[in-house]
């Protein structure tokens, strides 16, 4: 009777429980990982993404591939969310996160088949966290200007040719160093379809695709005061709908004269506050243009909010809503303002009084080339900014993951329970990263994994790794193959949490129809 009642309650719902649910979830994770694993490393291959309308995209950026794919499987969606969090936080390591999560789940499923309960496996995986954190701290070395650039360059491995990688790494590194804040938002990125990537440049200031509102306004070659107006300079309109009845022709002119006087009064307020430049988010009345020019005030209008935010960071200004309520702390300062014409389009360059505002202009011959360069630059900039916040480096070439696996296996020997098997599975999952790196380079993954493991043991150094470009095992520091500590730490932590979340699911329910009021619910 009870079973019949349960079946009636779940009528219209498809259910998968127990080990079958785990197998289904692991299959979804593995399918997603297989879609991006060939993009990992400097020898990774590209993916051609074709949309429903015939558009296409060629990329080897893991998070771009995952977000472009149409995925319905719930576990796969969880992994995409994890990779997105990795990208938002550190801008790199998204492919490693997905691959590592899938490997952790595959190893967990093997243990479940051998009779180990998922709760025990999850407990063993959590035991790995403190060991991984301690080991990473022991392996990491402080970054300097040269090694920081090497790390940014490593993050671009496999993305375009060597010339593209060198140029984007240089721009990203210099932009992060120029702002010194470790914040990606302090760098504005513009794309120009002209020239080649090598013509891209870093401009110490904020570039707006704008021209001054009146040609008689003088540009500012010296320092001055700037006001950011979160509104416009326009004729005041009544707050309520009104109608005017004009009885003589002189009244019209008098009305317009009062409007002009109102505009002039607002311009006089700007002049009294010693404003040299005003940037408005909305419009500036045509009649106000000559008034501003006569007052020696440079003006720009209809500037988008993201651009205003960049200007505020660069000049120290704070947006104001009313000209009549200007406080001295709202006014920013600039070093100079100049205009340049790029391919027939006016651009204005604001050099701020603060270092928290630079512009990187990416140039390329095609839209597709610019899109891929933009994605690669954003990743490189994220890595460069991470190193400003936490200047610690780890060896690349799979060296870190192999060193962690070796340490975890020694730690597993001290655990008496079945968690020892889970720790062994965690170590094996970490080794998937160097295996895939070797596989994507056309090498034998098992041979290279054993070779690097032996090299670390012989040299008693975790910095021995595989140089994919030469095919040799070498010191990753000397080979300039390094990566930020924060990227690896976040990737491993994110993959661990994602795998544990999936392991804790033992029942999957799919509703076949929209929710309805159950027949057995009593009416009031």
Dump pLDDT digits (tens) for 212-248: 999 899 999 899 999 999 988 887 665 556 665 666 6
Q: Is 94 a catalytic residue?
A: yes
> Which of these is catalytic: 64, 94, 315, 359?
94
Q: Domains along the chain?
A: 14-141+393-511 (1.10.560.10), 144-205+357-388 (3.30.260.10), 206-352 (3.50.7.10)
Matching residue, tokens 């379809």? 193
The string of pLDDT tens digits covering residues 431-472 is 999 999 999 999 999 999 999 999 999 999 999 999 998 999
Q: In angstroms, what CA-CA distances link 125 with 99, 147, 206, 293, 408? A: 16, 32, 47, 68, 11
> Which of these is catalytic: 92, 276, 379, 467?
379
Q: Is 82 a catalytic residue?
A: no
pLDDT at 510: 62
Contact 293, 216 (CB under 8 A): yes
pLDDT at 301: 94
Q: In angstroms, what CA-CA distances link 434 with 204, 257, 270, 293? A: 40, 77, 63, 64
Q: What is the pTM (predicted TM-score) of this model?
A: 0.84
Q: Is 95 a catalytic residue?
A: yes
> Which of these is catalytic: 39, 59, 61, 64?
61
> Which of these is catalytic: 64, 75, 82, 95?
95
Residue 9 scores a pLDDT above 70: no
Residue 83 scores a pLDDT above 70: yes
- Per residue, the 3-state secondary structure of 149-208, as one string, reads HHHHHHHCCCCCCHHHHHHHHHHHHHHHHHHCCCCHHHEEEEEECCCCHHHCEEECCEEE
Q: Is 61 a catalytic residue?
A: yes
């Amino acid at each position: 009777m009870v079973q019949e009642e349960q079946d009636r309650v779940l009528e219209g719902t498809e259910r998968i429980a127990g080990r079958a649910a785990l197998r289904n979830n692991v299959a979804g994770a593995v399918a997603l990982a297989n879609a991006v694993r060939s993009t990992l490393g400097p020898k990774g291959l590209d993916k051609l993404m074709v949309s429903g309308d015939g558009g296409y995209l060629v990329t080897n950026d893991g998070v771009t591939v995952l977000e472009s794919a149409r995925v319905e499987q719930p576990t796969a969606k969880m992994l995409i969310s994890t990779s997105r969090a990795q990208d938002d936080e550190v801008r790199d390591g998204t492919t490693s996160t997905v691959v590592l999560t899938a490997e952790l789940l595959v190893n967990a499923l093997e243990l479940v088949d051998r009779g180990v309960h998922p709760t025990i496996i999850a407990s063993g995986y959590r035991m790995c966290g403190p060991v991984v954190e301690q080991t990473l701290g022991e392996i990491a070395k402080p970054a300097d200007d040269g090694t920081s650039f090497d790390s940014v360059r490593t993050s671009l491995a496999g993305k375009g040719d060597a010339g593209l990688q060198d140029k984007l790494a240089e721009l990203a590194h210099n932009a992060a160093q120029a702002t010194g804040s470790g914040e990606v938002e302090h760098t504005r990125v513009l794309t120009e379809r002209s020239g080649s990537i090598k013509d891209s440049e870093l401009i110490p200031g904020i570039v707006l695709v704008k021209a001054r509102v009146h040609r008689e306004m003088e540009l500012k070659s010296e320092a001055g005061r700037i006001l950011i107006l979160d509104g416009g300079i326009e004729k005041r309109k009544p707050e309520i709908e009104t109608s005017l009845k004009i009885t003589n022709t002189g009244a019209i002119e008098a009305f317009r004269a009062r409007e002009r006087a109102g505009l002039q009064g607002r311009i006089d307020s700007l002049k009294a506050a010693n404003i040299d430049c005003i940037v408005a988010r909305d419009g500036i009345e045509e009649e106000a243009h000559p008034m501003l020019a006569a007052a020696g005030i440079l003006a720009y209008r209809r500037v988008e909010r993201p651009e205003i935010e960049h200007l505020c960071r660069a000049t120290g200004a704070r947006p104001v809503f009313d000209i009549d309520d200007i406080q001295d702390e709202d006014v920013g300062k600039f070093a100079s303002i100049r205009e340049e014409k790029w391919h027939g389009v006016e651009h204005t360059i604001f050099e701020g009084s603060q270092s928290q505002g630079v512009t990187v202009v990416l140039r390329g011959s095609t839209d597709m080339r610019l899109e891929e360069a933009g994605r690669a630059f954003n990743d490189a900039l994220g890595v460069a900014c991470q190193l400003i916040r936490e200047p610690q480096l780890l060896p690349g070439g799979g060296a870190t993951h192999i060193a962690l696996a070796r340490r975890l296996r020694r730690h597993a020997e001290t655990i008496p329970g079945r968690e020892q098997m889970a720790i062994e599975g965690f170590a094996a999952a970490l080794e998937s990263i160097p295996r895939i790196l070797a596989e994507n380079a056309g090498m034998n993954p098992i041979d290279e994994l054993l070779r690097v493991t032996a090299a670390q043991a012989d040299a008693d150094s975790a910095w021995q790794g595989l140089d994919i470009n030469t095919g040799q095992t070498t010191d990753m520091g000397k080979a300039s193959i390094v990566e930020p500590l924060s990227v690896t730490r976040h990737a491993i932590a994110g993959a661990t949490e994602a795998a544990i979340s999936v392991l804790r699911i033992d029942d999957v329910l799919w509703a076949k129809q929209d929710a309805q009021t159950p027949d057995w619910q009593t009416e009031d």
